[in-house]
């Protein structure tokens, strides 16, 4: 698979994720795009082609941004990435983290190449916190948290 083909596929997966996060099917997304834009030319099949990376939308990006609640610049960057622009990157974890963190606390590379040593007490505390966060993630995503003894 060529680099551009892989980039187009990644863009499609990114777009599909945004659509799913909005809680819409491909058909619903197409209908909302048509309603917002006043055009009637978008179908579920066109959304599917975008999500498979067969086509990269251009003039529709501002409408996508409006419907999905995503900055248009982020979508333009993702489309440039899909078209093979060497300077563009696909928005991903860093963009998501930046949206979730408080203002002024965006993730940045470490200034120092190394860290500091920590003791076992700190490690144990961090492990317990990670375990708690994983349990919370299970609850939020609909996982089963019933203890084995109570099943």
Predicted pLDDT of residue 90: 79
Predicted pLDDT of residue 54: 95
Q: Which stretches in the chain have pLDDT values below 70?
A: 1, 92-115, 136-151
Predicted pLDDT of residue 55: 95
Predicted pLDDT of residue 104: 63
Q: What is the mean pLDDT of the chain?
A: 80
Predicted pLDDT of residue 138: 67
Could you give the CA distance from residue 42 to residue 145 in angstroms, rounded to a whole number? 42
Predicted pLDDT of residue 149: 44
């Amino acid at each position: 698979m060529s680099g551009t083909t892989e980039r187009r596929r990644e863009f499609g997966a990114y777009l599909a994720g945004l659509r799913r996060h909005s809680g819409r099917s491909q058909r619903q997304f197409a209908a909302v795009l048509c309603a917002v834009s006043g055009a009637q030319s978008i179908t579920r099949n066109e959304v599917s082609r975008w999500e498979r990376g067969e086509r990269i939308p251009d003039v529709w990006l501002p409408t996508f941004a409006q419907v999905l609640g995503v900055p248009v610049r982020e979508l333009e960057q993702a489309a440039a990435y899909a078209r093979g622009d060497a300077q563009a990157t696909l928005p991903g974890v860093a963009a998501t983290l930046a949206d979730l963190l408080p203002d002024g606390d965006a993730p940045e590379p470490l200034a120092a190449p190394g860290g500091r040593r920590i003791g076992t007490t700190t490690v144990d505390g961090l492990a317990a916190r990670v375990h708690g966060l994983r349990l919370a993630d299970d609850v939020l995503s609909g996982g089963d948290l019933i203890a084995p003894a109570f099943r």
